[in-house]
């Protein structure tokens, strides 16, 4: 396994609100961070590395992209059926 593994690379774990962040985004980020840290403490570093070899941020980004793609496909299907 890689020695310089960073589970949280690219993830904003700051408790301060960014200038370009809305209140809703800020609250959502804090909630997500809490859940991620809870999972990390429960699973441990080695298990977390096995689950997310490139870090949690990359896994979350990929999941969001896939969800967005599914929503677009479903919307396109619904619009196609409505015509």
Q: What is the pLDDT of residues 49-74, one digit of tens each?
A: 999 998 999 999 999 999 999 999 98
Task: Give yes or no for residue 4 having a pLDDT over 90.
Answer: no
Q: Any idea which residue has 């990359």 for tokens? A: 58
What is the secondary structure of 17-68 as a DSSP string?
PPTT--HHHHHHHHHHHHHHHHHHHHH-HHHHHHH-TT-HHHHHHHHHHHHH
Is residue 17 domain-resident? Answer: no
Determine the structural domain holding residue 48 and report its residue range.
23-82
pLDDT at 81: 72
Is residue 15 domain-resident? Answer: no
pLDDT at 39: 93
Is residue 2 domain-resident? Answer: no
| Full-model pTM | 0.73
CA neighbor of 40 nearest in space, from 5, 15, 2, 1: 5
Residues with Cβ within 8 Å of residue 18, at least 6 apart in sequence: 12, 26
- pLDDT tens-digit map of 6-32: 889 889 999 999 999 999 999 999 999
């Amino acid at each position: 396994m890689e020695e310089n593994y960073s589970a949280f690379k690219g993830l904003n774990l700051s408790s301060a609100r960014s200038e370009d962040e809305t209140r809703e985004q800020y609250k959502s980020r804090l909630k997500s961070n809490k859940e991620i840290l809870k999972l990390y403490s429960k699973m441990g570093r080695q298990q977390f590395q096995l689950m997310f070899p490139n870090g949690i941020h990359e896994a979350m980004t990929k999941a969001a992209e896939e969800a967005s793609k599914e929503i677009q496909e479903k919307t396109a299907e619904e619009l196609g059926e409505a015509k």
